[in-house]
């Protein structure tokens, strides 16, 4: 039996969400003027993350450097992104979507798939149902969405990408030839720049060209797995299910680009500590431990390098992760100027049971574990993030003072005697 799948995509999500807030504050609607969400408007760095339709008319594209966008349109309004706002908007959006079917998949912060198969008693006309969802989101939340309607996820997603904004489109199997095959291959999901170039070289330019090509030829070019999948996609085939349960995280990473090039280890270590702290905290919140730690750096020519090492036993202790990251950095960085550094934790496992190692300093480990726990408690109390080891140590803001006092408290009550430890050479307590 045929399925019925919707894909719902918020139009220019970050920009729309900023607009809704600004309207509440009596500010002009960013959607009506050339505007974009992107890097720091004062520094004039960063890239375009979302753009208004007027901005698009100037040829501004998502992902392009802000400097280029400003050249195309000097009066472009640039707004910094505010992820906390987006998370709230996303929740409200998904809550409405979820009220139409129990089977919803969150595909990203601003996209969902709905499996509407078997909802025909409640919603006998799929197109009418799609309009109802779209209009209700607009009415209640103030921003527009596109809805794609078809019999599988791929076709629904392709359909929602047709004309924007505020539209419902169908792409049923009998419409593939007219609506999808004339499109350039780049429009196909998971077909990016590199595969486009290779396919163009053998004369494949449209999705129809790809559909009619021999699968073995495509596999020879793009690899057996990807080649097979992209060929199937071009034919409109996709039997993957709408997954209600988000997959568990398989890794955590943090990376930062700097205005100033990094040229000394003294610059590297505080950043690395901050990043290790952030990713380890996120990992503990998901009750995971990692077996592998990787450091990443990007040189001035934009080439990325990464190096990883694996522990004997999985850990979630910030200090152990930081020590490993420092070691990797010292070992592999030859001193070339860097514009980005990052840390990634992979090879995750559940944290529930403890792997004991004979040679570990268990008392020391217990100290670090308690410190992590104390910090995590504080972060919880003050609304998560922002509070890191470095910030608590260095800042003199009211919140940092409170956090420091709190931390002392937590530590003392937990171990029943006072800690008179100062700050060691790593910036740890």
Partner DNA sequence: TTACATTTGTGAT
Partner DNA sequence: CTAACGATCACAAATGTAA
Among 102-110, 119-127, 262-270, 414-422, the segment contacting DNA (CB under 7 A): 102-110
| Number of C-beta neighbours around residue 119 at 10 A | 18
Q: Does 110 bind DNA (CB under 7 A)?
A: yes
Rounded to whole angstroms, the Cα distance separating 179 from 223 reads: 27
Contact pick of 180, 191, 242, 392 for DNA (by CB under 7 A): 191
For residues 193 and 334, which CB has a smaller minimum distance to DNA in the complex? 193
Least separation, in Å, of the C-beta of 84 and DNA? 14
Which among 18, 75, 105, 111 is annotated as catalytic? Answer: 111
302 binds DNA (CB under 7 A): yes
Q: What are phi and psi of 280, to 5 degrees?
A: -65, -40
Q: Map residue 230 onto helix, strand or coil.
A: helix
Cβ contacts of residue 202 below 8 Å, gap of 6+? 217, 221
Stretch that binds DNA, among 105-113, 138-146, 164-172, 362-370 (CB under 7 A): 105-113
- For residue 285, state whether it binds DNA (rule: CB under 7 A): no
How far is 371 from 43, CA to CA, in rounded Å?
Answer: 37
113 binds DNA (CB under 7 A): no
Which of 34, 126, 148, 342 touches DNA (CB under 7 A)?
342
Alpha-carbon distances of 337 from 304, 308, 330, rounded to whole Å: 12, 20, 14
Helix (H) or strand (E) holding 288: strand 288-299
State yes or no: residue 224 binds DNA (CB under 7 A): yes
Residue from the set 109, 183, 221, 373 that interacts with DNA by CB under 7 A = 109
| 182 vs 223, beta carbon nearer DNA | 223
Please check whether residue 5 is in contact with residue 152, taking contact to mean a CB–CB distance below 8 angstroms. yes
236 binds DNA (CB under 7 A): no
Cβ of 164: how many Cβ atoms within 10 Å?
Answer: 16
The answer to whether the CB of 36 falls within 8 A of the CB of 48 is: yes
State the nearest-atom distance from the C-beta of 98 to DNA, in Å. Answer: 18
Dig out the tokens for 190 from the structure: 């998971």
**Taken in order 176, 181, 184, 185, is the CA torsion positive or negative?**
positive
**Closest distance to DNA from the beta carbon of 251 (Å):** 4
Please indicate if the annotation marks 110 as binding a ligand: yes
Segment interacting with DNA (CB under 7 A) among 63-71, 95-103, 143-151, 350-358 = 63-71
175's CB contacts (< 8 A; 6+ apart) are: none
Q: Could you give the CA distance from residue 343 to residue 405 in angstroms, rounded to a whole number?
A: 29
User: DSSP label at 31?
Assistant: G
Query: Any catalytic annotation for residue 105?
Result: no
**Annotation-wise, does 9 bind a ligand?**
yes
If one asks whether residue 118 binds DNA (CB under 7 A), the answer comes out as: no
When the beta carbons of 139 and 214 are compared against DNA, the nearer one is 214
Closest CA to 296 of 267, 261, 257: 257
Q: Which stretch binds DNA (CB under 7 A): 124-132, 138-146, 342-350, 364-372?
A: 342-350
Window of 137-145, 147-155, 191-199, 395-403 that interacts with DNA by CB under 7 A:
191-199
Between 4 and 283, name the residue whose CB sits nearer to DNA: 283
Distances (CA, A) of 394 to 108, 267, 278, 353, 401: 35, 15, 16, 35, 10
Under the binding rule (CB under 7 A), the answer on residue 267 touching DNA is no
Side by side, the strands of the sheet bearing 288-299 are 251-262, 338-350, 288-299, 304-315
Min dist. Cβ of residue 278 to DNA (A) = 7
What would the x/- binding string for DNA be over residues 1 to 40, using CB under 7 A? Answer: --------------------------------------x-
What span, in angstroms and rounded, lies between the C-alpha atoms of 276 and 296? 12
Q: Which of 59, 223, 337, 383 binds DNA (CB under 7 A)?
A: 223
Which residues are identified as catalytic? 111
What does the binding site for DNA look like in residue numbers (CB under 7 A)? 39, 45-47, 49, 62-63, 65-68, 71, 107-111, 188-196, 223-226, 247, 249-257, 282, 292, 294, 301-310, 339-340, 342, 344, 347
Query: What residues form the annotated binding site for Mg(2+)?
Result: 9, 110
């Amino acid at each position: 039996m045929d399925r019925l799948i919707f894909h719902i995509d918020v139009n220019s999500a970050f920009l729309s969400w900023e607009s809704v807030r600004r309207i509440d504050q009596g500010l002009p609607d960013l959607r009506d003027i050339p505007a974009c969400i992107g890097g720091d408007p004062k520094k004039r760095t960063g890239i375009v993350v979302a753009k208004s339709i007027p901005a698009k008319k100037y040829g501004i594209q998502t992902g392009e450097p802000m400097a280029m966008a400003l050249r195309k349109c000097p009066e472009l309004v640039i707004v910094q992104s505010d992820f906390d706002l987006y998370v709230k908007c996303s929740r409200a959006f998904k809550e409405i979507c979820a009220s139409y079917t129990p089977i919803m998949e969150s595909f990203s912060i601003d996209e969902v798939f709905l499996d509407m198969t078997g909802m025909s008693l409640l919603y006998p006309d799929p197109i009418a149902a799609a309009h109802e969802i779209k209009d209700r989101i607009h009415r209640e939340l103030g921003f527009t969405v596109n809805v794609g309607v078809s019999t599988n996820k791929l076709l629904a997603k392709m359909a929602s990408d047709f004309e924007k904004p505020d539209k419902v489109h169908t792409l049923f199997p009998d419409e593939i030839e007219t609506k999808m095959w004339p499109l350039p291959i780049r429009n196909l999901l998971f077909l990016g720049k590199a595969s486009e170039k290779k396919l163009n070289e053998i004369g494949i330019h449209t999705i129809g060209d790809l559909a009619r090509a021999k699968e073995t030829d495509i596999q020879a070019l793009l690899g057996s797995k990807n080649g097979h999948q992209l060929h199937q996609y071009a034919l409109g085939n996709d039997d993957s299910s709408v997954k209600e349960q988000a997959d568990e995280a398989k890794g955590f990473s943090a990376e930062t680009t700097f205005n100033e090039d990094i040229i000394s280890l003294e610059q590297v270590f505080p950043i690395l500590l901050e990043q290790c702290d952030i990713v380890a905290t996120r990992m503990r919140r998901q009750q995971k431990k990692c077996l592998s730690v990787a450091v990443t750096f990007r040189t001035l020519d934009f080439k990325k390098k990464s190096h990883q090492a694996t522990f004997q036993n999985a850990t979630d202790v910030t200090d152990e992760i930081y020590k490993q990251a420092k070691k990797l950095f010292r070992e592999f960085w030859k001193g070339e100027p860097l514009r980005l550094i990052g840390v990634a934790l992979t090879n995750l496992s559940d944290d529930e049971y403890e792997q004991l190692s004979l040679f570990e300093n268990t008392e020391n480990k217990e100290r670090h574990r308690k410190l992590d726990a104390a910090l995590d408690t504080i972060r919880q109390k003050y609304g998560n993030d922002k509070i890191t080891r470095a910030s608590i140590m260095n800042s003199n803001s009211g919140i940092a003072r409170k956090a420091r006092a709190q931390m002392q408290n937590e530590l003392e009550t937990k171990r029943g005697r006072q800690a008179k430890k100062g700050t060691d050479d790593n910036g740890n307590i």
